[in-house]
Chains A and B, each alone.
Chain A
Amino acid sequence: MLERINEAYTQIARAQKTLGRTVNIMEVCGTHTVTIFRAGLRSALPEGLKLLSGPGCPVCITDQGYIDAILAFADRTDIIIATYGDMIRVPGRNGSLEQKTNRGNIKIILSAEDVLKLAKQNPDKKILFVAVGFETTAPATAVLANEALQQGIKNIAIFSNHKLVVPAMASLLTTKNHRIDAFICPGHVSVIIGCDAYLPIVEQFHKPCVVAGFEPMQIIDAISEICRQLAEDEPQLGSVYQAAVKPGGNETAKKIINDTFDISDGYWRGLGEIKKSTLKLKEKFSSLDAEKQLGVKFIPEEDLTGCCCGEVLCGLMDPPDCGLFATSCTPDSPVGPCMVSSEGACAAWFKYTRKKRQK
């Protein structure tokens, strides 16, 4: 272990020397963000390295308009809202699902499969599925849609807001003044889309992309590999998670995503509209599409006054530098989405570091 940490120190110093400044590496995935904080990685690595927390938490990047659209159904006794757990605390403009659960029609599920069970157990109700997440959860939603269609189950309405990771990474790199030198790429997502999916980032933007798993030591290895590439000015694709991630990813999962969804433009909280970044159900699934069946209205958010989640996600700012951080925005009463999820950059910063108290 010590050897691998020492190697990281060596490579960080080399990269710092080549760049002539601090090395900025973005971990795209929210789970990496949490691992980094829980393991106290920042405090264990030298100051010449800065880890930026990226947009890789599906909850963080959910636009308020999407939450509002779902909340419009919270009072309906003929509808059960099925959602992944960490979505329930995300504030829309009129509160969160957790605050509206007093009627008991909001069910926390662990997988899209549970939606099918709920639909069968409650034939007299419509199950509104809050379908969010990256390429990791999209295949499960696709399986659900196909199963429901095949079995003729009609009381499911899927409100798809699945997001694609690579368009967001590319979008960050076209942001003015961004500070990103390289990416630690998400483990779970990469199992699905494969390492090769990041080739455009390497080729067009010349940024190293290294996939890592979720052990702290794997993240340290990824940092070593990235810094080696930066030191030698040879941006490449890499993976320290080879056991699970193939170059082409999981073909079956990719195929069902392609067969079920169309890629459309979509809103990301704090980042605005990103072209070709959101998955919407194809025409043939219209009978299951909440937007078509329930007339779900999606009104994109305006800027959250004073909230700097956008800047935090782009690596332009650390959470404590936001005026709302730890004052009017805390994990108990979050303003921005990065404070909501346990994987959000602001929540992790708030919970696991001292800096908030030094403000």
Chain B
Amino acid sequence: MMMADDDKILLAHGGGGRLTNELIRSVIISALGNYTLSKLTDSAELKIGQTDICFTTDSFVVKPLFFNGGDIGKLAVCGTINDLAVGGAKPLVLSLSLIIEEGLELEVLRKILHSAAKAAKQENVEIVCGDTKVVEAGAADKIFINTSGIGLKLPKADVGFEKIAAGDKIIITGTIGDHGMTIISHREGTKFESDLKSDCAPVSEICGKVIEALGDDIKFMRDPTRGGLAATLNEIVNQTNLGIEIEESQIPVNPTVRAAADMLGFDILNIANEGKAVIVVSPQKAQKCLEICQSCEIGKEAAIIGQIIQGTEPLVELITMIKGRRIVPMPYGRELPRIC
């Protein structure tokens, strides 16, 4: 579906699903496109002199600002670090820009910045520049944060859609849907609220270690944020024209997250993560890669969930618990709680 001139931006255009893709391709790329941008990778790969760097940016508008497992400050740092890490880079420095709504309590701002600083320090990343704007009440929702980041490309890293081949295995580094369901439950005030915890965390340790140990056997990495695992896997099949087969029984899901998603009628595969990576690895090194993931604190529940196949169509297929099969579609962009 092409966007028409009189169309308006819907919330779903920001949801990381089909509508986001459409907006990027038909409006943004057509206005700004160039060789690097058009690759649509998590971070841009650039050569400065003899050095390969990765450069990326991300904005954070999460509501509520504080949630179980994190807050907008930690998220803003981890999110950009993760975009660099899955691009095969070691994160070096970040910028951090604030758009603040008039009336925000200073204490809230302090807490957010403290949390951002702590997350950056843990990753040995410095926040080296920034900007502050204040807008009148109502023109923003409390606080929005943008972070940009630069990372040094790891010498052994050679990841990209074009590296992916039939037979490669797909690893997810832990349970899915934790961040999204935590945020949604906060907003909707469901009974699960207190038992859910966002997975908000940097994935740089895992990404760095698997690249270091397995080099170009690591074909591709991505953090499945908005649109969840479904969006990431669909992007892989769209970019490679290969198929994907995943097994429901192998996908790690926290039972409370599953219960909350079931109650609201959400497909867990579409729910956002903020501390996970999808890793595509050669079949020979898949087991080794899994062991490395599991040796990391946030990767204990990592699992091989499926593989790339030479299908007749670029589709993601799920083998269900009862051994049925179904297509996993690209999410639309906005999960709506169902009526009953």
- A1 x B332 contact (CB < 8 A): no
Closest A residue, CB atoms, query B315? A354
Binds A, one of B67-75, B276-284, B319-327: B319-327
Top 10 A-B pairs, shortest CB-CB distance: A40-B324, A85-B336, A44-B324, A136-B340, A40-B326, A40-B320, A352-B326, A351-B329, A85-B337, A84-B339
Output the least CB separation between A300 and chain B (Å).
Answer: 22
Contact between A58 and B339 (Cβ–Cβ < 8 Å)?
yes
- Where the two chains meet, the residues of B that have a C-beta atom closer than 8 Å to any C-beta of A are 1, 8, 10-12, 18-19, 188-190, 262, 265, 267, 313, 315, 318-327, 329, 332, 336-340
A107 to chain B, nearest CB (A): 12
Cβ A132 vs Cβ B339 within 8 A = yes
Smallest CB gap from A5: residue in B: B322
A242 vs B71: C-alpha distance when bound (angstroms): 43
Residues of B within 8 A of A332 (CB): 1, 18-19, 332
**A-B residue pairs in contact (CB < 8 Å), sample of 27:** A5-B322, A31-B338, A37-B326, A39-B324, A43-B324, A43-B326, A44-B324, A59-B339, A84-B338, A84-B339, A85-B336, A85-B337, A85-B339, A86-B336, A86-B337, A86-B338, A101-B11, A137-B340, A189-B340, A216-B321, A220-B322, A332-B1, A332-B19, A342-B338, A353-B326, A354-B327, A357-B313
Q: Mark A28-69, 1 if CB is under 8 A from B, else 0.
A: 000100100111111110000000000000110000000000
Please name all residues of chain A whose beta carbon is closer than 8 Å to the beta carbon of B336 when the two chains form the complex.
85-86, 88-89, 108, 342
Most chain B CB within 10 A, of A34, A59, A85, A331, is at: A85
Q: For the complex, give the distance between the alpha carbons of A43 and B318 in Å.
A: 12
Q: Which of B188, B313, B322, B338 lies in contact with A41, CB distance below 8 A?
A: B322
Interface residue A87 (Cβ < 8 Å from any Cβ of B): yes
CB distance from A191 to the nearest CB of B (A): 10
Q: Do A31 and B265 have beta carbons less than 8 Å apart?
A: yes
Closest B residue to A354 by beta carbon equals: B327
From the candidates A38, A99, A352, name the one contacting B8 in the complex (CB within 8 A): A99
- State whether B339 touches A352 (Cβ < 8 A): no
Which of chain B's residues have a CB closer than 8 A to the CB of A99?
A: 8, 10
What would 4 more interface pairs be, CB under 8 Å, given A110-B337, A342-B265?
A43-B324, A88-B336, A134-B340, A217-B322
